[in-house]
A and B are shown apart, each in its own frame.
Chain A
Amino acid sequence: MNGVHDMGGMHGMGPVKHEKDEPVFHAPWEGRVFAMTRVVRAGGGRQNLDNSRHQLEVLPPEEYLRMSYYERWFARLVDQLLKNGVITQAELENGRPSPDSSKAIPAVTAEMVPVMVARRNSARRNVAVSPHFKVGQRVRARNIHPTGHTRLPRYARGKTGVIVRDHGVFLFPDTNAAFLGEKPQHVYSVKFTARELWGNDASPRDSIHLDMWDDYLERA
């Protein structure tokens, strides 16, 4: 979707503020939100990483920009718990379990955490899918505007670049986020010159590389 999360190339966001000796979490609640999100993901249900990202993208733009990073995560967490039926609206409002709810068993215990954080959950798929393009080939990013989740930023659409690396076959986020299947396909590193993307005021030496799926590309 053409959302406010798709920030590449926007103006007006101010200088980059670098914090000296920055802590991992700026307040305990940030760590709790991060940890609860991890535990909820480990608990299963109708969810995946791409859908999870999309849940942040559909925050109203004024909320998205106003909220801090972990405030966005908290809004998403509450929504996912309600949608997956882990908690009910009434329980959220009362702050305690409803009398008729059965007690669950935690999906993740402290002993399981080292294994959980070390677990690989790759989006790579070991299936035989032919690549549509090859290294060295010129390609154009499609001028498409999907209303759902996509990883094709606006700033690259319609622009021409060169395939510099074939990363292999990965699941496709646009369909995966909508629970419409993994649609595995090749992902390439595509090099765009800074001048192709930003015009002749950009440095003639600089380039921007994006990782792009076959479905994002056409022959140039």
Chain B
Amino acid sequence: MAKSKTRHVGRRGFIKGAAASAAALAAESRMHATQDPHDHDHDHQAIPSDVALRVKALESLLVDKGFVDRAALDAIVDTYETKIGPRNGARVVARAWVDPAYKKRLLTDATAAIAELGYVGGQGEDMVVLENGPKLHNLVVCTLCSCYPWPILGLPPVWYKSAAYRSRAVIDPRGVLREFGLELPEDAEIRVWDSTAELRYLVLPERPAGTENMTEEALAELVTRDSMVGVAKVTLSKPGGTA
């Protein structure tokens, strides 16, 4: 315990902060239960189990200080849970499939073409669209952090931010795709795009055969999030859980 305290509190400000906010929680819970107030080092080591309470304590403090409006937090969470997500990107893809002039604009000036449909904002300021074909498959990753085109795909899923995906997408893209159930032929070319700068990438998947008579709205329903990151193809029978 003493060793842990020296390491966390002595070395880094942010760990000091995390430990201290555990202390705030400990202080709060003393009102409800008998608890040793010196237990906070232990709390810090148990981050996964008490993080929800520590986040709550921080939010209360920021609200009490007048720095945070709780309703604003609610609105931000609601925005990314219900308004900004992969349905936006699906509409871009479906429009490109039915409107060749739009597709041309999308491939030459993606930011402007996506803004035509009303999708603008943070982490989508400078967009690039990559077109997949029968023998060409594009795959997007951010090996250094979690860069992802928020306005059209929403916030990234856990797998996209995982060490497994970030480490392997660049060195073993075919193996990663196989784990997503996508086996590409040997003679197909894979282009991996590591989002190392502020460009954000959207894959324009191939339009599946047999969809010639479908409306733009029905086509958009087929387009999955995974197909727009490049770990899946769009199929007529949309597999569950990949939206």
Contacts and interface: CB of A to CB of B under 8 A. Distances in A.
B174 interface: yes
B215 interface: no
Contacts of B174: 203, 206
B13 A92 contact: no
B194 A153 contact: yes
Contacts of A83: 13
Given A11-B167, A34-B80, A38-B76, A209 B194 contact: yes
Contacts of A35: 72-74, 76-77
Interface string B27-52: 11000000000000000000110011
A95 B77 contact: no
B57 A95 contact: yes
B58 interface: yes
A167 B126 contact: yes
B61 A15 contact: no
A119 interface: yes
A124 interface: yes
Contacts of A23: 81
Interface stretch (B63-71, B87-95, B98-106, B205-213): B63-71
A152 interface: yes
A18 interface: yes
Given A151-B144, A210-B196, A16 B171 contact: no
Given A10-B167, A35-B76, A109 B71 contact: yes
A71 interface: yes
Contact of A16 (B66, B164, B195): B164
B198 A86 contact: no
Interface string A62-92: 0101011101001111110111001101011
Contacts of B194: 8, 153, 208-211
A17 B47 CA distance: 22
Interface string B130-142: 0000000000010
B13 A71 contact: no
Interface residues of A, number: 109
A206 B190 contact: yes
B52 A27 contact: yes
B143 A7 contact: yes
A53 interface: yes
A31 interface: yes
Nearest to B24: A95
Contacts of B3: none
15 contacts: A7-B144, A17-B158, A29-B56, A69-B161, A75-B15, A81-B58, A86-B62, A92-B24, A95-B28, A114-B75, A120-B120, A167-B197, A189-B128, A208-B193, A211-B196
Interface of B: 11-18, 20-21, 23-25, 27-28, 47-48, 51-52, 54-62, 64-69, 71-77, 79-81, 84-85, 120-122, 125-126, 128, 141, 143-146, 151, 154-155, 157-159, 161-171, 173-174, 176, 179-180, 186-199, 240-243
Interface of A: 5-11, 13-29, 31-36, 38-39, 43, 53, 55-56, 58-60, 63, 65, 67-69, 71, 74-79, 81-83, 86-87, 89, 91-97, 101, 103-110, 112-114, 116-124, 151-153, 155, 167, 170, 173, 187, 189, 191, 194, 197-198, 202-203, 205-213
Given A16-B164, A203-B186, 13 more contacts: A5-B145, A7-B163, A10-B163, A19-B241, A60-B11, A60-B15, A74-B58, A104-B66, A109-B72, A113-B75, A118-B151, A122-B126, A206-B191
